[in-house]
Amino acid sequence: MRKQPMETAAEKPRQFEWDLKELMERLGGDQELFHDLLVMFRGDVQMNLQKSHTAIGKGDYEELSRTAHTIKGMLRNLSMGAAAEIAAALEQASWGSLQMESKELLEALTKELEGILPEVEAQLAEVKP
Amino acid sequence: MRILVAEDDAISRALLGRTLQRAGYEVIAVEDGAKAIAELVKQDAPRLALLDWVMPEKDGVEVCREVRRRKEQAYKYLILLSSKESKGDIVTGLESGADDYLTKPFDADELKARLRSGHRILELEDHLVEARESMRFQATHDLLTSLWNRGVIVELISHEIMRSRRERSCIAVMMCDIDHFKSVNDECGHAVGDDVLREVARRLHNSVRSYDMVGRYGGEEFLVTLNKCNPESAVSRAENLRVKIAGCPIQTASKPVTVTISIGLALSTEFTQCTVEELMYQADMALYAAKAAGRNCVRVARPFGVSKPVEEQPKETPVLAP
Going across the sheet that includes B77-82, the strands are B26-30, B2-6, B48-52, B77-82, B100-103
Contact, A20 vs A34, CB < 8 A? no
Sign of CA dihedral A108, A111, A113, A115: negative
A33 to chain B, any CB pair closer than 8 A? The answer is: yes
Q: What would the pLDDT profile of B94-118 be if each residue is shown by its tens digit? A: 899 999 999 888 888 899 999 999 9
A79 to chain B, any CB pair closer than 8 A? The answer is: yes
Query: Is residue A24 scored above 70 in pLDDT?
Result: yes
Assigned CATH for A28-126: 1.20.120.160
Q: Averaged over B50-79, what is the pLDDT?
A: 90
Beta-bridge partner residues of B223: B175, B215
Q: What would the pLDDT profile of A64-104 be if each residue is shown by its tens digit? A: 998 998 899 999 999 998 999 999 999 999 988 888 899 99
Category of B79 on φ-ψ map: left (φ > 0), alpha (ψ -120 to 50) or beta: beta
β-pair type (B298-302, B305-307): antiparallel
Classify domain B2-139 at the CATH topology level: Rossmann fold (3.40.50)
Into which CATH architecture does domain B150-307 fall? 2-Layer Sandwich (3.30)
CA separation for the pair B261, B234 (Å, rounded): 16
Residue B12 DSSP label: H
| CATH 3.40.50.2300 residue spans of chain B | 2-139
Residue A28: closest C-alpha in chain B: B19
Nearest Cα to B215, choosing from B228, B225, B203?
Answer: B225
- Model confidence at A15, in pLDDT bands (50, 70, 90)? low
- Residue A49: the pLDDT is 95
Indicate the domain borders of chain A: 28-126
Catalytic, out of B31, B160, B199, B220? B220
Task: Tell me the count of A-B CB pairs closer than 8 A.
Answer: 49
Q: Within a 10 A sphere around the Cβ of B256, how many other Cβ atoms?
A: 11
ipTM computed for the complex: 0.78
Instruction: Give Cα A70 distance to the centre of its chain.
Output: 10
Sign of CA dihedral A23, A29, A31, A33: negative
For residues B219-252, one letter each, b for 16 or more C-beta atoms within 10 angstroms of the residue's C-beta and e for the rest, the string is ebbbbbbbbebebeebbebbbebbbebbeeebeb
Residue A66: closest C-alpha in chain B: B54
| Residue that wins the pLDDT comparison between B56 and B244 | B244
- Residue B309: the pLDDT is 67
| CATH 3.30.70.270 residue spans of chain B | 150-307
B220 is catalytic: yes
Query: Is residue A17 scored above 70 in pLDDT?
Result: yes
Q: What would the pLDDT profile of B149-178 be if each residue is shown by its tens digit? A: 999 999 999 999 999 989 999 999 999 999
Residue B108: closest C-alpha in chain A: A26
First to last CA, chain A: 14
